[in-house]
Amino acid sequence: MSRARLGLLLVLLVLLGAPAVSRAAGPLDQPGYAKAVTCAACHGASGNSRSEAVPILAGLPPAYFKKAIEDYASGKRLSAEMEPFAKQVKLLGVDEVAAFFAAQRREPTPVRPERAAVERGRAAAAQCASCHGPEGQGDAAKMVPALAGQPAAYIRNQLLLFKADKRSPGDEPLTKMKAILKPIPDATLADVAAYYSSLR
Q: What is the CA radius of gyration of the chain?
A: 17
* CATH 1.10.760.10 boundaries in the chain: 3-102, 115-198
CATH topology of domain 3-102: Cytochrome Bc1 Complex; Chain D, domain 2 (1.10.760)
What band does 181 get if pLDDT is binned at 50, 70 and 90? very high
Residue 189 in this model has a pLDDT that exceeds 50: yes
How much is the pLDDT for 19?
45
How much is the pLDDT for 173?
85
- Neighbour-count burial of 158, counting CB atoms closer than 10 A to its CB (0-12 exposed, 13-18 middle, 19+ buried): middle
Please state, in angstroms and rounded to a whole number, the distance separating the CA atoms of residues 197 and 135.
11
Percent of the chain with pLDDT over 90: 80
DSSP string of 31-79, one letter each residue: TTHHHHGGGHHHH-TTS---SSSS---TT--HHHHHHHHHHHHHTSS--
Residue 15 in this model has a pLDDT that exceeds 60: no
Q: What is the pLDDT of residues 32-89, one digit of tens each?
A: 899 999 999 999 999 999 999 999 999 999 999 999 999 999 999 999 999 999 999 9
CATH topology of domain 115-198: Cytochrome Bc1 Complex; Chain D, domain 2 (1.10.760)
Tell me the CA end-to-end span of the chain in Å, nearest whole number. 36
